[in-house]
Structure 1
Amino acid sequence: MSNSINQIIASELNVRHEQVTAAVTLLDDGNTVPFIARYRKEVTNGLDDTQLRNLESRLGYLRELDDRRKVILKSITEQGKLTPQLEADIHSADSKTRLEDLYLPYKQKRRTKGQIAIEAGLEPLADTLWQQPENDPAATAEQYISADKGISDTKAALDGARAILMERFAEDAGLLDKIRRHLLANAELTSHMVDGKEQEGAKFKDYFEHNERLTNVPSHRALAMFRGRNEGFLQLSLNADPNQEEGVRSSYCEVIIADHYGVKLGSQPADVWRKQVISWAWRIKILMHMETELMSALREKAEEGAMQVFADNLKDLLMSAPAGPRTTLALDPGLRTGCKIAVIDTTGKLVDTATIYPHQPQRQVAQSEATILALLNKHQVNLIAIGNGTASRESDSFIAKLLKDNNLKIQSVMVSEAGASVYSASELAANEFPNLDVSIRGAVSIGRRLQDPLAELVKIDPKSIGVGQYQHDVSQSMLAKRLDAVVEDCVNAVGVDVNTASAALLTRVAGLSKTMAQNVVDYRDEHGRFEARTTLKKVARLGPKAFEQCAGFLRIMNGKNPLDSSAVHPESYAVVKTIAANNSKPMDAIIGNTEFLRSLKAADYVDDKFGLPTVTDIISELDKPGRDPRPEFKTATFAEGVNEVKDLIPGMVLEGVITNVTNFGAFVDVGVHQDGLVHISALSDKFVSDPREVVKAGDIVKVKVMEVDLARKRIAMSMRMSDEPGQEKPARKPQAQRQDHHRSKPNNGNHSGNNSNRSNNSNCGNNANNASGNAMGGAFAAAFAKAKK
């Protein structure tokens, strides 16, 4: 069966069977995805990390399917009911749904009305009336009346016969498949308000009377409706016949049932009874089954979409540009409690702290300026990080004036505080800074995430970073697994300096467990810096397999071997030595020697152990050893005098930072403590099916303010500079892009939001999904109304 599984995956991924087989073997041998993607290209013929992640996920599903198949075959065999055709059908089932459909008639369950009727001897009556409609139901049923069997009259007999057939239909895998395909092509999801919930459930008002083709419901709308149902404000149902005229009670699915069994209903004596059996089987048995199944499938698809949005945004955030090793003064803004200051050196080490009170109510401006200037001079600070929480714009203005008045050429940057409070109160932070106030720990985190966002953000649960969409409505275990994979891929793509990395960062390196990572730090603390990768073999519990997996991703800067600072794996050092020897050059002379390296032919150094992909990668890495794949560091410049939502005026053109990308648009921080929304329809002059085609988290963009709702602090923006506030926007082809009222705006301090609520960072994406988030408003209302029609 494993060969069959590999073939299925190869077909789905559109790669060769041999590639999948090789990758599966490597995974089963304990190799990690980052290691396989980077250092086993010749084995898998170049499968990348995305393909390998998809392969790994699909492999797990198909193996679970195969295990379930074996259990079902064993169960039916033990019942003595396994026929050659049924066995063939079970072996060919390609989904868990199909497999469970086939098993349904043989599944052990509580005694049903149909089973009781069969035990009472009514199955012949059911078969006679169904197959020979010329028989009169009442007259035929009289023969089955038996007080001993609990059949007191003809009605009881006919009810029992009907129950037998209804259950038989509801367990017919072929019939269920036909109805399922019909519903997927035609059915609509219908949402209605629960009576009396108008006011209490007002945030879900857009779904009080809503219907939409089931297969077209996007993930954010599906999750919004499911949340409304879970909170008791909405009732959801499946409309199998959306085009049917009002008042018609029968369903086309009843026609499907009749056709499946070759039944032609006419005027024969049993036809009225048979029609009733079909109608009841559909409405009471099959519809309920299908509604549960298809809504579960919709929810699963919606959760997958939401998790993908989160994963994509997290990757963009983790891979955002680092400011680099620059001495940084970090300021965590506050009003009554003051602004917490932390100075960190080029390695991220905390070297000084302070608290200032430049704002109301204390208003100690002169003293605060003196404190900041003293710290800047003492530590030769060349970068200032300001958290974007409460009083952030006031603090930004205070720092800007101080730098201008003192003619200091120091860059000041607004930094997202999302998750800072989670880190501050964590066990990790307590172990790192046991004698430091929690708020000062937050300032340290703000500064470090500017120096290196990846290294700092790995210390925080990804779900607390605030770039998700309906994250609390999805499977938390699946979300955690998905996000952990993203973090692992990002960390290994960048590489880690083993002599400066925290245990939290090392834990994300391929092959290192939490215990191993801590052992690396403990060894470093006891013996001093690592001078060579080979020294890692002396770390407790870091065996040969772990070393093989992690060594290429760990960097040793200025060590004994220059290759230790590169992504060249120790197992491949021999290739570099061969290149150097064959060209009569010392190793140092070829590293970074672009002209020489580009003159080499990789094929000349291929042997039985190292294939062309590996040698090509080695030569490329030698050209720019230890290169960082992240982009160049840039910052947005917020407009002066625009500090609050009330300062915004429709028509303003501002520079901002993309903080979150969802299926329906992108949120932008322009420095007013509340992100604005650029709806998907306003991202570009061209049709956009996915906002990530245009923007990603961390991008610096120009936006035009289209509408400001002060009461609800909603800001509508556009990236189309030709748009004018109040101007109706035409619906665009190929399909008008619909306004989505259930916004995923993180209320968590991620580049604004409600930044005063940083203690609720772990709830990011929850309030984000608050259905009252109708941020676009009247400016685009007409166009959206058209789209909805």
Structure 2
Amino acid sequence: MSNTINQTIAQELAVRQQQVTAAITLLDDGNTVPFIARYRKEVTGGLDDTQLRTLESRLGYLREMEDRRQVILKSITEQGKLTAELEAAINTADSKTRLEDLYLPYKPKRRTKGQIAIEAGLEPLADSLWNNAGQQPEHAADAFVDADKGISDTKAALDGARAILMERFAEDAGLLEKIRRQLQNNAELTSRVVAGKEEEGAKFKDYFEYNETLKRIPSHRALALFRGRNEGILQVSLNADPGQDENVRGSYCEVMIAEHYGVSLGTQPADSWRKQVISWAWRIKILMHMETELMAALREKAEDGAMQVFADNLKDLLMAAPAGPRVTLALDPGLRTGCKVAVVDATGKLLDTATIYPHTAKARVAEAEATVLALLNKHHVDLIAIGNGTASRETDSFVAALLKANNLKIQSVMVSEAGASVYSASELAANEFPNLDVSLRGAVSIGRRLQDPLAELVKIDPKSIGVGQYQHDVSQSMLAKRLDAVVEDCVNAVGVDVNTASPALLTRVAGLNPTIAQNIVSYRDENGRFDSRTTLKKVSRLGPKAFEQCAGFLRIMGGKNPLDSSAVHPESYAVVKNIAAANGKPLDAIIGNSEFLRGLKAADYTDEQFGLPTVTDIIGELDKPGRDPRPEFKTATFADGVNEVKDLIPGMVLEGVITNVTNFGAFVDVGVHQDGLVHISALSDKFVSDPREVVKAGDIVKVKVMEVDLQRNRIGMSMRLGDEPGQDKPARKAQEPRPAAGSNRSPRQSTPRQQDNGGNAMGGAFAAAFANAKKK
């Protein structure tokens, strides 16, 4: 069956089966996705990390399905009921749902009414009435009355016959598949508010009377509905016949059941009874089964969509532009408790700390100015990082005034605090700074995050960074797995300086685990910096396989071999030496020599081991050794005097930073402690099906303020700068609910600032509320 699995995945990825087979072999041999994507392109035919992640996920699903297939075949065989036709159907089933449909009639279960009726000898009555409508049901049932078998009268006999047929229909895989397709394409999900819950569930008001075709419901609305149901606010159900007159009692699915069995219902004696059997089978058995199944499928799809949103945003944050190795003074703003200050050197090493109170009495303000000025001069600070939590704009104004008064040309940058408190209180932070106050650790993290977002964010559980959509409503194990893969891919795409990296960062390198990462740091502490990649082989538990996987992603800056600072894998060094020797040049003379390298033909240096893709990559890497794939560092400039939501005026054009991208739009920080929403319809003059086609987290954009709701602390914005506040817009579909301002989250823990009362970063219903206000 492995060949079938490989073929299925190849078709889904639109690649050759040989590529899939090769990739699976590499994965089964313990190779990591980053290693395969970067260094085994010849073997896989150039499958990238995204394709490999999808392949890995599908491989797990299909192998689980294959295991289940064998269990089902064994069970039915042991029952002595496996026919050639059934075996063929099971072997060709292409989903777990189809497999379970086929297994349903043979699945061991508690004795049902239908089974009891069969044991009582009523199956011939059921078959006779179903196949011959010319009989009077009561007359036919007379012959089956038998008190000893529990059949006291004709009604009991007919009830038993009906139960047999109902269960037979409900376990007919072919019928279930037809009805499933019908419902998937045409059924609606309906939602109504539970009586008396209107006030308690106000945030779900967009779903108090809601209908939408099942196949069109986006993930964020589906998860909002399920949350409303779980909180007891909403009644959510499946409407199999949308648009049907309420007076019509039958369902089109009942017609499908009759057609499936070739039954024509008319006025014959048994037709009324047969119609009742079909109706009961549909409403009591099949509808309940299908509603449960389709709701579960919708939830699974919605969770997958929500996790993908989180993964995409996380990748954008991790791959944000680093300010680079520059001495940085970081401020963690605060009002009553003061601002925590930390200075870190170009490598992120802590140099100094302080606590200042620039937002209290004048005497303390002067003292704060003197303290910060002394630190700036003492450590020759290049950058100032200001956390974007409480009092951030006030702190920003304090710093701006200080720099202006002293004619200092130092750039200050607002930095997201998302997850900083999580790191500060973590075991990792305690081990790194055992004698440092928790709040000061947060300031250190803010400064390091400006220098290198990736290196600092890997210390924080991705789920705490706050760029997800309904993150607490999805499978936490699946979410963690998805996000871990994103972090791993980002870290390996950038590469890691083995002589400065933290254990947390090293852990994310392909082939390494927490134990080996800590062993690398311990070896570095005991023996000094690594001067070559080969020295890594001396690290405890870093064996040949781990070295193969990690070596190309670890950088040795200023080491013995210049190739150790590049992404060229040690196994390929011979190719570089061959290029140098063939052209009569020393190694140092070809690294970075663009003119020479661009004149080379990669095909001239291939052999049986290293093909064209690898040699092409090597030449490209030699041209710009150790190049960082992240973008150039840029910052947004917040408008002076715009510090709070009340300072916003419709029509203002402001510069801001995209903090979160969801399925329904993007959130923008313009420096007022509350992110505004640019609805998907206002991202561009062109139609946008996915907001990520236009923006991503970290982008600097210009937005126009369209609407300001001070009462609910919500801001509507547009990136279509030609839009005018108050102009009519098309009505928008309901978005998922958002709480009123001041829900149970701290600014630090929830930046970007657009969370619901479950702690999930997501958009609210206010876009729809704005649209509704327009219509009124």
Please confirm whether the aligned pair reaches a TM-score higher than 0.5, indicating the same fold. yes
Measured at CA, do residues 248 and 600 of structure 1 come closer, stay the same or move farther in structure 2, by a change above 3 Å? same
The corresponding residue for 1:775 is 766
Aligned 8 A contact 2:332 2:442 in 1: yes
Aligned 8 A contact 2:713 2:741 in 1: no
Measured at CA, do residues 559 and 769 of structure 1 come closer, stay the same or move farther in structure 2, by a change above 3 Å? closer
The corresponding residue for 1:288 is 288
2: CA distance, partners of 1:567 / 1:675: 39
The corresponding residue for 1:244 is 244
SS of the residue 1:705 aligns to: strand
The corresponding residue for 2:682 is 682
Measured at CA, do residues 6 and 738 of structure 1 come closer, stay the same or move farther in structure 2, by a change above 3 Å? same
SS of the residue 1:256 aligns to: helix
The corresponding residue for 1:225 is 225
Deviation track 1:373-426 (CA, whole Å, cap 9, x = no partner) reads 000011000100000111111100000000000000000000000000000000
2: CA distance, partners of 1:12 / 1:390: 48
Measured at CA, do residues 587 and 383 of structure 1 come closer, stay the same or move farther in structure 2, by a change above 3 Å? same
The corresponding residue for 2:488 is 488
User: Partner amino acid for 1:189?
Assistant: L
2: CA distance, partners of 1:551 / 1:784: 61
Measured at CA, do residues 747 and 586 of structure 1 come closer, stay the same or move farther in structure 2, by a change above 3 Å? farther
2: CA distance, partners of 1:451 / 1:197: 49
- State whether structure 2 residue 738 is matched by structure 1 residue 738: no
Aligned 8 A contact 2:662 2:762 in 1: no
Aligned 8 A contact 2:335 2:359 in 1: yes
The corresponding residue for 1:196 is 196
Measured at CA, do residues 445 and 311 of structure 1 come closer, stay the same or move farther in structure 2, by a change above 3 Å? same
Aligned 8 A contact 2:469 2:761 in 1: no
Unpaired runs of 5+ residues, structure 2, are none
2: CA distance, partners of 1:507 / 1:771: 30
SS of the residue 2:443 aligns to: helix
The corresponding residue for 2:118 is 118
The corresponding residue for 1:537 is 537
2: CA distance, partners of 1:380 / 1:738: 54
User: Partner amino acid for 1:191?
Assistant: S
The corresponding residue for 1:256 is 256
The corresponding residue for 2:749 is 758
Q: CA deviation at 1:656?
A: 0.2
1: CA distance, partners of 2:573 / 2:547: 15
The corresponding residue for 2:476 is 476
2: CA distance, partners of 1:166 / 1:445: 64
Aligned 8 A contact 1:660 1:697 in 2: yes
2: CA distance, partners of 1:180 / 1:300: 16
1: CA distance, partners of 2:199 / 2:757: 21
- State whether structure 2 residue 635 is matched by structure 1 residue 644: no
Aligned 8 A contact 2:681 2:687 in 1: yes
Aligned 8 A contact 1:357 1:365 in 2: yes
Aligned 8 A contact 2:733 2:768 in 1: no
The corresponding residue for 2:665 is 665
Pairing 1:235-634 to 2, within 5 Å after superposition: 235-360=235-360, 364-634=364-634
Q: CA deviation at 1:755?
A: 5.4
2: CA distance, partners of 1:51 / 1:599: 32
Q: CA deviation at 1:246?
A: 1.9
Q: CA deviation at 1:202?
A: 1.0
User: Partner amino acid for 2:522?
Assistant: D
1: CA distance, partners of 2:757 / 2:523: 41
2: CA distance, partners of 1:506 / 1:32: 15
SS of the residue 2:468 aligns to: coil
Deviation track 1:592-628 (CA, whole Å, cap 9, x = no partner) reads 0000001111000000111010000000000000000
SS of the residue 2:272 aligns to: helix
Aligned 8 A contact 2:203 2:738 in 1: no
Measured at CA, do residues 746 and 671 of structure 1 come closer, stay the same or move farther in structure 2, by a change above 3 Å? same
Measured at CA, do residues 635 and 755 of structure 1 come closer, stay the same or move farther in structure 2, by a change above 3 Å? farther
2: CA distance, partners of 1:58 / 1:746: 41
User: Partner amino acid for 2:664?
Assistant: F
Query: RMSD between aligned alpha carbons?
Result: 1.9
Aligned 8 A contact 1:716 1:777 in 2: no
User: Partner amino acid for 1:579?
Assistant: I
Q: CA deviation at 1:3?
A: 0.7
Aligned 8 A contact 2:313 2:697 in 1: yes
2: CA distance, partners of 1:83 / 1:659: 58
User: Partner amino acid for 1:774?
Assistant: A
Aligned 8 A contact 2:393 2:671 in 1: yes
Aligned 8 A contact 2:660 2:666 in 1: yes
TM-score by length of 2: 0.98
Measured at CA, do residues 765 and 66 of structure 1 come closer, stay the same or move farther in structure 2, by a change above 3 Å? farther
User: Partner amino acid for 2:455?
Assistant: A
Deviation track 1:159-209 (CA, whole Å, cap 9, x = no partner) reads 111011000000000000010011111100000111111111111111111
Q: CA deviation at 1:143?
A: 1.3
Q: CA deviation at 1:782?
A: 6.9
2: CA distance, partners of 1:597 / 1:478: 44
1: CA distance, partners of 2:446 / 2:544: 37
The corresponding residue for 2:100 is 100
Q: CA deviation at 1:738?
A: 3.1
Deviates more, 1:484-493 or 1:354-363: 354-363
Q: CA deviation at 1:771?
A: 9.2
The corresponding residue for 2:718 is 718
User: Partner amino acid for 1:320?
Assistant: A
Aligned 8 A contact 1:465 1:764 in 2: no
TM-score by length of 1: 0.96
Aligned 8 A contact 2:537 2:547 in 1: yes
Pairing 1:127-142 to 2, within 5 Å after superposition: 127-142=127-142
Aligned 8 A contact 2:468 2:762 in 1: no
SS of the residue 2:248 aligns to: coil
SS of the residue 2:371 aligns to: helix
SS of the residue 2:598 aligns to: helix
Aligned 8 A contact 1:322 1:453 in 2: yes
Deviation track 1:90-138 (CA, whole Å, cap 9, x = no partner) reads 0000000000000000001111111111111111111111111111111
1: CA distance, partners of 2:741 / 2:10: 39
Measured at CA, do residues 595 and 500 of structure 1 come closer, stay the same or move farther in structure 2, by a change above 3 Å? same
Aligned 8 A contact 2:328 2:343 in 1: yes
Q: CA deviation at 1:268?
A: 1.2
Measured at CA, do residues 594 and 222 of structure 1 come closer, stay the same or move farther in structure 2, by a change above 3 Å? same
Q: CA deviation at 1:778?
A: 6.3
Deviation track 1:234-274 (CA, whole Å, cap 9, x = no partner) reads 11111111021121000000000000111111111111100
1: CA distance, partners of 2:750 / 2:583: 60
Aligned 8 A contact 1:310 1:469 in 2: yes
What is the count of residue pairs matched by the alignment? 776
Deviates more, 1:619-628 or 1:772-781: 772-781
User: Partner amino acid for 1:407?
Assistant: N
Deviation track 1:707-731 (CA, whole Å, cap 9, x = no partner) reads 10001100000001111111112x4
Q: CA deviation at 1:777?
A: 6.3
The corresponding residue for 1:109 is 109
Deviates more, 1:623-632 or 1:761-770: 761-770
SS of the residue 1:661 aligns to: strand
User: Partner amino acid for 1:342?
Assistant: A
SS of the residue 2:334 aligns to: coil
2: CA distance, partners of 1:580 / 1:78: 68
1: CA distance, partners of 2:283 / 2:240: 11
